[in-house]
Amino acid sequence: MMEYTIDRGGYVSKSCVVPAQNESGYWYIELGGGGHNRPRRIWVNGRAIVRKQGKDGKPEFGIMDRLSFRRTEKGNIVLMPGEHNIVALFAECGYRGTADAVVLPVDGREQAEWLVAGREYWHSGRGALGVSEHLLLLLKEGDRVRVTRTGRLYGAEPEVMFVYQGNELVPVPEDEELEELL
C-alpha cells in the first residue's frame, strides 16, 4: 500500500506504508495523531502483510497493493486482500492553517464509497500551529483528488489538483487547454 504526502509547497512524495504489530501480534497502521490528538488505528489482516528480506538480512514488512476493507459493528476498519486500490494520503496544511482533501470520482461515487477512514494530524498540542489531514482513500484510475490548504504556504498554491493514474498520483496542470494537449 502506498502513502502519498502532499507538503506545504504542493509537492507529492510517495512511500510504502509500514505496518506495526501490537503486543498480541495483530498488525495495524495509524492515521492522524500529533499533539494531544490520538491516532486512529486501522487493523490489517495478516494475509495482507507482505514479508520481504531486508538488505541487512532482517525481515521487512509491508502491505499488499490490492486491498479490500470491512467495518466491524463497533466501527473498526480491517484491511484485507482484495481487488481495490486503497492508498493513504497525508495533506499537510500551511502554518497555522488547515488542509482538506476531496476525491472527485470518475464514476460519480458518493463520499461514503471513496473515503475509507480519516483523522486529523495536529502540529501542536491543541492544533494551534495547524491541522493536517490523513486519509485512507479507495481510488480508481482517473479519479481526481483536490487538496485545499489554508495558513502560510509561502507562495504555494492554496488549492492543488491531482489525478490517480494506476499506481501514481500525478499533478494536474492548471491550464485546461494544456491538459487536453497532454
Number of domains, the chain: 1
Specify the pTM. Answer: 0.90
User: So what's the pLDDT on residue 8?
Assistant: 87
Q: What letter does residue 85 receive in the DSSP assignment?
A: E
- pLDDT given at position 175: 65
Residues 69, 81 contacting (CB under 8 angstroms) = no
End-to-end CA distance of the chain: 28
Q: What is the pLDDT of residue 181?
A: 56
Phi-psi region of 62 (alpha: psi -120 to 50; beta: other; left: phi over 0): beta
- What pLDDT score does 10 carry? 84
- Low-confidence stretches of the chain (pLDDT beneath 50): none
- Cα separation, 103 vs 65, whole angstroms: 19
- C-alpha distance from residue 165 to each of 29, 46, 94, 172 (Å): 24, 28, 27, 11
Integer Cα distance of 61 and 44 in angstroms: 12
CA distances from 138 to 68, 107, 141, 177 (A): 9, 13, 10, 29
pLDDT attached to residue 138? 94
Q: Could you tell me the residue range of the domain that residue 148 belongs to?
A: 2-181
Pair 176, 17: CB distance under 8 Å: no
Distances (CA, A) of 34 to 17, 41, 85, 158: 18, 14, 27, 23
Report the DSSP beta bridge partners of residue 164.
169
Tell which residue, 92, 93, 143, has the closest CA to residue 114.
Answer: 143
